[in-house]
Amino acid sequence: MIDFRTEPAQYRHWKISFAGPVATLAMDVDENGGLMPGYELKLNSYDLGVDIELNDAVQRLRFEHPEVKSVVIISGKERVFCAGANIKMLGQSSHPFKVNFCKFTNETRNAIEDATSNSGQFYLTAIGGACAGGGYELALATDYIMMADDGSTSVSLPELPLLAVLPGTGGLTRLVDKRFVRRDRADFFCTTEEGMKGKRAVEWRLVDEVVPRTQLIAAASRRAGEFAARSNRPSDATGIALRPLSRSIDGDRSSYQHLSVELDRDRAVATITVNGPEQSAPASIEAVHEQGSDFWPLAIARELEDAILHLRTNEESVRTWIFRTRGEGQLVKSYDRLLLDNPENWLIREITLYLKRTLKRIDVSSRSIFTLIEPGSCFHGVLFELALAADRVYMLHGTSERDEALPARISLTAMNFGALPMCNGLSRLHGRFLGEPARVEKLRPRIGEEMDAKIAEQLGLVSFTPDEIDWDDEVRIAIEERAAFSSDALTGMEASLRFAGPETIESKIFARLSAWQNWIFQRPNAVGEKGALKLYGTGRRPEFDPRRV
């Protein structure tokens, strides 16, 4: 089982150092530290384990170090920055693992970009040595790239000519949509194994600046200091420790403090039950700091994220996720008010952004998602986002004999109107009513109102409202029907339907890359016995089917 929980004391591949408002993340990959046997992580190449550590480091820099305003990514090895994803690892991995690996790695790149855009923590890369494939994609996730001008240091995206696949974590999209590299130049660059170096790389917008090798680290530190001066992060605040997550696994049940996951392998279903807070939100920001990582919205974001990543990676055959909640809606809404009333506080901002990123992980997961709203549920405010993220929402009309609680209720808060956008930039409410934007505005006066199944259905906030007589059968049939469909076709359908409306760099990467890489990773030209990915490093040339499909 792959575990996404880690902390700096367990890192094998990254080193963090601090100099006032500037932190340095040094990539120094342990060749023998692969997540699986069968390959060595030479030349700072990486596997999922390397990126799990990077993801953790990015989160900790945001929460534990508010004083850090710039982060410089460098290599801890001489004459090489990063050779990208380890080819032998990819060659021996299953197809689902490869695709999930690319997805998680890109989500980590998105978190870096989110830190720069929304947290005032600016990332830049200092490249001294070969920087290829996923290594350059990591650099592309930062907003400033500095490179040694020494005649040998270069950047490249050689996946197409060498491996017959694509850069796996958004390199093509970031090249043209973020760095605005001209299309013809991008075409040449992506089909050239040796890449670009020196002033030509600057001219083509592949990097921002070149400096002599002997001045690289000093120049990067100076530039990081300049960016740090523009940041709105506090210089004198105290961070909070992200304490280790408590999780126990007993057979088909995983339990966290506020969340549980039950697996029904016969139906290929995971039921994720989120427990609302047991007490009202604290009265002050100081109390939030005192609670630290136990503060309910932060705790639930961390637990839900870990559950999502665990299910995506370790439970590939579980194809349908069902969300349930239990708790008191008024308590959930009190936390929403606290978050919404204090957007300028650095910690409140980070918690809200973390909730946003966690919900995005649900959106891009290739699983069918149903939400069941029943008596005793607390789908209010931020937890109602779990309903808005679902492919279908079932809400019980009335009560059932086994429930002593009052009929189910839902309610909206201001949190549902833009604080937690999807990767296309829209709130889930706006995405739901894309063709009727006026309906979203008509919902604003209902903020805080508790709505029963009849009203929720009339307002278009739920899909179906069976009564007690029909509830069990409708839910059962829907789940069984889902299990009978092609998982591949469902993945394509869901991804097409979930992201209506505008495109962003992020949505393009997930929509296009996920579809194309999913397909290309199965094609004989890449993974067949005579495919480029299989033969890489053997000295044998691949044989390609010349037909364009």
Digit-coded pLDDT (tens) for 284-339: 999 999 999 999 999 999 999 999 999 999 999 999 999 999 999 999 999 999 99
**pLDDT, average across residues 91-119:** 94
**pLDDT, average across residues 14-34:** 97
Count how many Cα atoms sit within 13 Å of the Cα of residue 92 in the half-sphere of its side chain.
11
CA-to-CA distance for 525 and 487, rounded, in angstroms?
24
Q: Place 51 in a pLDDT band, splitting at 50, 70 and 90.
A: very high
pLDDT tens figures, 447-472: 999 999 999 999 999 999 999 999 99
In whole numbers, what is the pLDDT of the chain averaged over residues? Answer: 95
**pLDDT, average across residues 187-215:** 96
Nearest to 360 by CA among 59, 30, 104: 104
pLDDT tens figures, 360-416: 999 999 999 999 999 999 999 999 999 999 999 999 998 876 666 789 999 999 999
Structural domains of the chain sorted by starting position, each given as residue range(s) with its CATH number in brackets: 8-228 (3.90.226.10), 248-490 (3.90.226.10)
Nearest to 343 by CA among 385, 285, 298, 274: 285
Angle subtended by helix axes 346-363 and 95-118, to nearest 10: 150
Q: Place 232 in a pLDDT band, splitting at 50, 70 and 90.
A: very high
User: What is the structure's pLDDT at 404?
Assistant: 64
Instruction: Judge residue 415's burial from the number of C-beta atoms within 10 Å of its C-beta, 0-12 exposed, 13-18 middle, 19 or more buried.
Output: buried
Out of 46-50, 165-169, 417-421, 449-453, least confident range: 165-169
Residue 276 C-alpha from the chain's centroid: 23
Question: DSSP letters along 243-301, please?
Answer: PPPP-EEETTEEE-SSEEEEEETTTTEEEEEEEPPSSPPPSSHHHHHHHGGGSHHHHHH
Above 70 in pLDDT, residue 431? yes
Q: Place 492 in a pLDDT band, splitting at 50, 70 and 90.
A: confident
Give the containing element (helix H, strand E) for 250. strand 248-250
**pLDDT, average across residues 512-526:** 80
Residue 285, classed as helix, strand or coil, is helix
Identify the residue with better confidence: 146 or 522: 146
Nearest to 377 by CA among 407, 419, 343, 335: 407
Above 90 in pLDDT, residue 519? no
Above 90 in pLDDT, residue 183? yes
Identify the residue with better confidence: 142 or 538: 142
Above 90 in pLDDT, residue 273? yes
Out of 240-244, 347-351, 524-528, least confident range: 524-528
Looking at 61-109, which runs of residues are DSSP E strands?
A: 70-75, 80-82
Q: Place 533 in a pLDDT band, splitting at 50, 70 and 90.
A: confident
pLDDT tens figures, 277-299: 999 999 999 999 999 999 999 99
Above 90 in pLDDT, residue 227? yes
pLDDT tens figures, 108-167: 999 999 999 999 999 999 999 999 999 999 999 999 999 999 999 999 999 999 999 989
User: What is the structure's pLDDT at 518?
Assistant: 76
Q: Which two tokens stand for residue 71?
A: 């982060």
Residue 485, classed as helix, strand or coil, is coil
User: What is the structure's pLDDT at 403?
Assistant: 64
Contacts for 180 with CB less than 8 Å, ≥ 6 apart: 205
CA-to-CA distance for 106 and 112, rounded, in angstroms?
10
